[in-house]
Structure 1
Amino acid sequence: MIIYFHMVVRVIMSLKIPLTILFSLLTTVSLFAEEFAVATFTRGKVSFLSASDTSKLWKTLKVNDVLKPGDRIKTGNGSKVDFLYQETEIRIQPNTDFTLKEWNSDKKEAKAFVQNGAAWFRVNNFKKGSFEVSTPTTTAGVRGTAFGVFFEEKEKTGYTCVCEGLVNINGEDFAKGTGGAKKVGATELEKKQYKDIITKDGATILLKEKRKEFPMLNRCLPCHKPIGWEDKSFTPDETYGNK
């Protein structure tokens, strides 16, 4: 965020704008950067469709770009992007279609939608229950801190796993190490347990076995390295745990 601000300052200064106008512009830039989440890391090609772009053209998202309501993000194989807003993190994983539906930093409210793929969230700056992430079959409202949201098109199933704290999934609270899944057309949310599959050290051998039944678990491997087994089919998330 600071890097973004300084870059804009240098551009404005090079234009030799009068000081009164310059001060107004710098104030606007500062407020703008503090109001929304800013891209802090990208890998590969990340496509970006801005809600404010009347041409409706997909562009390549870059570090320091700002995520605003209505913006849509698409990542391809091996591509990802991280956004940071104060202490809140949004990590969009490969092969994901993500849209920020709502964002109000004053009211501390936000809503996002994962059409397909995976995204991970650590939420610290929003009111209880006011940060929601939906898929075609699930809605997760944060009650605690960190959770992952997935939707697998092949399975037509949405998943939510709780990494820290409590998360409300389709009206029911889930604690750390648990989660819920719901297939398109199903009436009930299926409860899941992840405590023995993923530990603080990484993904256990149980994940290797369980992923045959639940391919969604492969989405966990970039952040949770295998313990006692190997898998070279994924790209490690070099930023996970470093913020």
Structure 2
Amino acid sequence: MVVRRIMSLRILLILSSLLLTSVSLSAEEFAVATFTRGKVSFLSSTDSSKLWKTLKVNDILKPGDRIKTGNGSKVDFLYQETEIRIQPNTDFTLKEWNSDKKIAKAYVQNGAAWFRVNDFKKGSFEVSTQTTTAGVRGTAFGVFYEEKEKKGYTCVCEGLVNINGTEFSKGTGGAVKLGASELEKNDYKGLITKEGATIQFQEKRKGNPMLSRCLPCHKPVGWEDTSFTPDETYGKK
């Protein structure tokens, strides 16, 4: 009896060790949720029940996983030095992820997501909406799709981003309306400083409502807006 108990205990310890190793390897291979606010739901590609579940800190984002955030909700993912920040009222899907070949593809069905890409210089990191495709190797940029306007936007925060075949630099961006082929070019240079969003930003936003998506990370300077929830994690990683 004693021998059997010892053997059973050893088997249990081995299985526990293998499980912990598997989780550790997965955490190194994929992006991990580091912060959540409000209710964030996800549909796992590996869950045969196909039921939406609540996403928690330390959950892993795998290829095929779909994320939905509600009003005031958000989630941050981190893979080495690459960040993925999914903003409120967003429907996001990770289409492809290969950490060995440094290839990633994501899709924003609706809403907004922000990316800082630092680990894909020998591969590619691509984010699409219904109308736009942004491809980068190492930079920071935001991708948005506004359902009311039926329009996809990409803005460049750092480096260079290829949007639908055209290269854009920091402080610029491109947009395409559903059903159109022409790429609308936008210039945001000087509208956001280290202190935050300027009064000139406020004026620009009147004709470009998408810019409101920038306010959680760039607080208004010299003017006020209470329609957004500040991103308490921006600039802290």
TM-score bracket for the superposition, by shorter chain length = over 0.9
Q: Indicate whether 1:76 and 2:70 are aligned.
A: yes
Alpha-carbon distance between aligned partners in 1 of 2:35 and 2:199, rounded to the nearest angstrom: 30
- The separation in 1 between residues aligned to 2:10 and 2:170, in whole angstroms, is 54
Q: Distance in 2 between matches of 1:28 and 1:38?
A: 14
Cα separation, 1, equivalents of 2:138 and 2:99: 18
What's the counterpart of residue 150 of structure 2?
156
The reply to whether residue 224 of structure 1 matches residue 209 of structure 2 is no
Task: Determine whether 1:49 maps to 2:50.
Answer: no
Output one character per residue of 1:186-214: Cα deviation in whole Å (capped at 9) or x when no partner: 11111111112222221111221222211
For residues 88-112 of structure 1, give each alpha carbon's deviation from its aligned partner in whole angstroms, at most 9, with x where no partner exists: 0000000000000000001100000
1:63 matches 2:42: no
CA distance in 2, matches of 1:81, 1:146: 17
Q: In structure 2, how many angstroms separate the alpha carbons of the residues matched to 1:59 and 1:24?
A: 25
Residue of structure 1 equivalent to 2:189: 195
**Where in structure 2 are the equivalents of 1:103-182 lying within 5 Å?**
103-127=97-121, 130-182=124-176
- Matching residue of 2:178: 184
Q: Deviations over 1:14-37 (max 9, x none)?
A: x87544444433322221110100
Percent identical among aligned pairs is: 83
Q: Please state whether the residue corresponding to 1:229 is helix, strand or coil.
A: coil
Q: Could you say if the C-alpha distance between residues 61 and 93 of structure 1 is closer, same or farther in structure 2, counting changes exceeding 3 Å?
A: same
- How much is the aligned-residue C-alpha RMSD, in angstroms? 1.4
Q: Please report how far the alpha carbon of residue 129 of structure 1 lies from its aligned counterpart in structure 2 after TM superposition.
A: 5.9
TM, length-normalised to structure 1: 0.90
Structure 1 CA distance for aligned equivalents of residues 26 and 122 of structure 2: 24
Indicate the residue corresponding to 1:12 in structure 2.
Answer: none
> 1: CA distance between counterparts of 2:182 and 2:123?
21
Residue pair 2:103, 2:120 contacting (<8 A) in 1 also: yes
Deviation sequence 1:147-197 (CA, Å, 0-9, x none): 000000111110000001111100111111111011011111111111122
Which of these residues, 230, 234, 240, is aligned with residue 228 of structure 2?
234
Give 1:4-19 correspondences, 5 Å limit: 17-19=11-13
2:206 is paired with a residue whose SS is: coil
Report the 3-state secondary structure (helix = DSSP H, G, I; strand = E; otherwise coil) of the residue aligned with 1:211: helix
DSSP-derived class of the 2:203 partner: helix
Q: Which runs of 5+ in 2 are unaligned?
A: 1-8
Q: Which runs of structure 1 show a deviation greater than 6 angstroms over 4 or more consecutive aligned residues?
A: none
Distance 2:10 2:164 in 1: 54
CA distance in 1, matches of 2:155, 2:69: 21
- Residues of 1 paired with 2:92 and 2:17: CA distance? 35
Give the alignment's TM-score, normalised by structure 2.
0.93
Aligned equivalents of 2:37 and 2:198: distance in 1? 27
Gaps of 5+ in 1: 1-14
Q: Are the aligned partners of 1:108 and 1:125 in contact in 2 as well (CA < 8 Å)? A: yes
Which of the two has higher C-alpha Rg? Answer: 2
